[in-house]
Amino acid sequence: MASYKAGSALGISFIGVADMERSLEFYRDVIGLTVTEPCLWHGESLTAQWQSPPGLEAEAVLAAYQGSRVGRVMLLRFRTDSRQEVRAGRETTWIGLGNLNFYTNHIHETAVRLSAAGYRFWSEPTTYEMNKAVGSPTEVVFEAPDSVPVNLVELVRGTQTQTGEMAAFLDSHGMTPTGFTQVVTSAHYVRNMDSAIEFHRRVLGMEPLIDAILDRPEQNNFLNLPPDARTHVVFVKGHMFGKVALCAPLNYECVDLTGRAEAPNIGYLAMGFEVPDIDDAVARARSLGTVIAAVPRDIDLPHLGRLRGAVVRAPGSGARYHLYEGEPA
């Protein structure tokens, strides 16, 4: 098998939407991402990628930051009446894909403004120390359209910590006109941390950046977890943005939402990663016992053109990962 010289990053978060214009108002007007004109996704490429019945169609819009291939959002409105919400019960503890994480430099003012606009927040912005090496970010979570939780983070600048390093990268990278980044991290709640890390290392070339236990009351409060909850969190990355936060509950139960995260449902459905060699990536996945939901084949991916892609069920949770071949981001 070929060796990966650089790790993949989260390239696309696939979101099933209830109302395209409402979702665009958030990702385009609030977050400030640049969006494409809608196009129709249909045919074998759609059904193969989602294992959906023939004839399913979806309106597709891609939201990105200044042409970046990292941290984008694909909004999909499936044309059918048989859609259900992934988080129908508004769960706050579950197995599967979790939240979208954006950086902002003015978290308190932003929370006030978005709350006044009708977005429901889980708590007030909270500053906490993850550990001395990581530093003390300020975070808050709120409900975005389509029952997708969004985690806002404000970093502390000028410190010799990992958050300080991230802040320096952010300053060199830039932000949208409305003061946000693209998706910098996405949470993925898993039952088995070891298998999840091994998959991200061997298949995606991503390496651990942060390894911590979240168990402080202030952390659990903004995450809407039980007061005594203990969560093992490992951030893996191939790029400073487009990270994945692998989260394993240590002393509390979670409902498994991976069975609901399917087309044509509404919510966070899948993550997409660009890999240098799709056949090699799938071979690596098979060697780990990964379920291959769709074997490598040519696909037409909306707004990205014709690519070779495959779909796997990520070890540790069974969440849907779409892999597609291309040059490193």
Sequential DSSP letters for 145-201: GGGEEEEEEEPPPS-SSHHHHHHHHHHHH---TTSB-S--EEEEE-S-HHHHHHHHH
> Would you state the structure tokens that stand for residue 162, as one six-digit string?
């990992």
Which residues in 235-270 are b (16+ Cβ under 10 Å) and which e?
A: bbbbbbbbbbbbbbbeeeebeebbebbbbbbbbbbb
Task: Give residue for tokens 């006109």.
Answer: 177
- pLDDT under 50 in the chain at which residues? 1-4, 328-329
Q: Within the chain, how many helices (H) and strands (E) appear?
A: 7, 18
Q: How far is it, in rounded angstroms, from Cα 164 to Cα 207?
A: 19
> Would you state the structure tokens that stand for residue 211, as one six-digit string?
């390894």
Long-range contacts, 127-132 (Cβ 8 Å, 24+): 127/218, 128/216, 128/218, 128/219, 128/222, 130/210, 130/212, 130/214, 130/219, 131/212, 132/161
Q: How far is it, in rounded angstroms, from Cα 306 to Cα 185?
A: 27
Q: Which of 210, 235, 182, 239 is nearest to 12 (CA)?
A: 182
| Contact predicate 306/315, CB 8 Å | no
Q: How far is it, in rounded angstroms, from Cα 138 to Cα 221?
A: 13
Specify the pLDDT at position 4.
Answer: 47
Query: What is the helix (H) or strand (E) element at residue 197, kind and residue range?
Result: helix 193-202
Task: Give residue for tokens 């010289």.
Answer: 5
The three-state secondary structure class of 198 is helix
Specify the pLDDT at position 7.
Answer: 83
Cis peptide leading into residue 249 (ω within 30°): no
Specify the pLDDT at position 327.
Answer: 55
> Would you state the structure tokens that stand for residue 246, as one six-digit string?
């692998």
Radius of gyration of the chain, Cα coordinates, nearest whole angstrom: 18
Specify the pLDDT at position 111.
Answer: 97
Specify the pLDDT at position 328.
Answer: 41
Please count the other Cβ atoms lying within 10 Å of the Cβ belonging to residue 77.
23
Q: How far is it, in rounded angstroms, from Cα 245 to Cα 52?
A: 28
> Would you state the structure tokens that stand for residue 143, as one six-digit string?
């409900």
